[in-house]
Structure 1
Amino acid sequence: MSTDAVQREATFARAVLDAAAGVPAVLMGRNDASANRRFAVYRNNVYAGLINALAGRFPATAKLVGEEFFRAMAREYVEKSPPSSAVLLLYGADFSDFMGAFPPAFPVPYLADVARLEWAWHTAYHAADAEPLSQDALAALVARADDIALRLHPSLSVIRSPYPVVTIWELALRDGKDEPGRLQADGEDALVLRPALQVTVRRLPRGGAAFVQELMEGKNLPVAAAAVLESEPGFDLAANLAGLMRSGAIEGTVNPL
């Protein structure tokens, strides 16, 4: 492809994703009005496709605010943050940050955290496959707890929220609303991963999110537990470790077994 053709394609792509841009000069002819109409239709179709992709990735978020509000918010996002890659699986990674700074969404303060949870679900679904450590291998770790660091599943992520984000997400998917009168006041932290075919989301106990984050930084069990105990004196290492084992969150160790 010639340099001119590449430049024309780049100009066309920029114009499609810039709502304030006019029709590229290369498309204009004797009937400018017709070119404007055709380009507007094409641009709207591109926007609609991106908005549909976001709606598919954030179904609970969309239910919490309603389809009309969600699509209007998503269009604002598309205009301000068009795709930077042809790999659309990556598109929407910062949509939750956009929501957190989007004034019309402020009356739903937990909306951005629900979106973060949904993005974690999306990335876990498309993450690399890995076999969790077997129960026998996990049992062998107990005797070596002082000198090993755990390697966690590549699909794993932690979402921390001052709101009951897992409960809101579950209710939104089930009923299409958050039913605020039934919600507890405490925040919830979520562990999201796909140890097998299905993505799982589970609530972490007190100190659980901080513990997982310490492990993700490569710290061994005693160091990670000590760091959490400084801020959470009631942290239960045995219970949290057992929960990670049952969830299939442990893939191996940093040190060879």
Structure 2
Amino acid sequence: MDYQSIEFGLEQGIARITLNRPEKLNSFTAAMHGELADALSRIESQGARVLVLTGRGRGFCAGQDLSERQMSAGAAPIDLGHTVETYYAPLVRRLHALPMPVVVGVNGVAAGAGANLALAGDIVIARRSASFIQPFCRLGLLPDTGGTYALPRLVGRARAMGLALLGDKLSAEKAEQWGLIWECVDDDAFEARLDELARHFATAPTQGLAATKRAIDASLDHTLDQQLDMERDLMRELGRSADYAEGVAAFLAKRAPVFGGK
């Protein structure tokens, strides 16, 4: 597939997706969703060990391109539930299920579905000049793309309600302070930090990191006993991995480990 709305690359275990509609602040279209789905299929099948997701230009993603939602007089209402079920929900599910870290670099404004796309990442960093906005309330809607799931879990009910019901802009610095994202980075250091994280995860024990993702996500709905059982089962599996053997051997030999992601 020739991509028009995104840029995609995969090299040395690092998959990179850059949303590439800068003139529209990388807002979503059906075509962009199709390209993202294709790129994720390539990532799942081609041995990537980390995904880096960011945007081109001055915005990360401004959410849905509303020019695709214009209704002519007398036309039937657009089925937004179909849009969520067909595009946004599968995208969030696939990012959560990827057996590798998903690093999101928020290079500018992240609004609506774009903000919640960012929150679907595992490690989220943002330029200090970036911001997060949940503008759904201004359109008579609710935060989709996993927004109503992620927000209260990341920042608590009170802050989630304020963000969702008021739609105020949240700075990257405050997003870090609230625990919405991992790190706020000075603009001139942003690209280097994103590359540093990509290189780190490309040489890390990928299976262990994937299992960590699964366990932490599951813990939100598990009892303590269920979580302890899951930890037991995953540790049993990881204890048989080549990366664990390499980690132990490297520790005993007092050398840096060389993980193969297996």
Normalised by the size of structure 1, how large is the TM-score?
0.25
Report which of the two has the higher share of helix.
1
Report which of the two has the higher share of strand.
2
Larger radius of gyration: 1
Normalised by the size of structure 2, how large is the TM-score?
0.25
More contact order relative to length (CA 8 Å, sep ≥ 6):
1
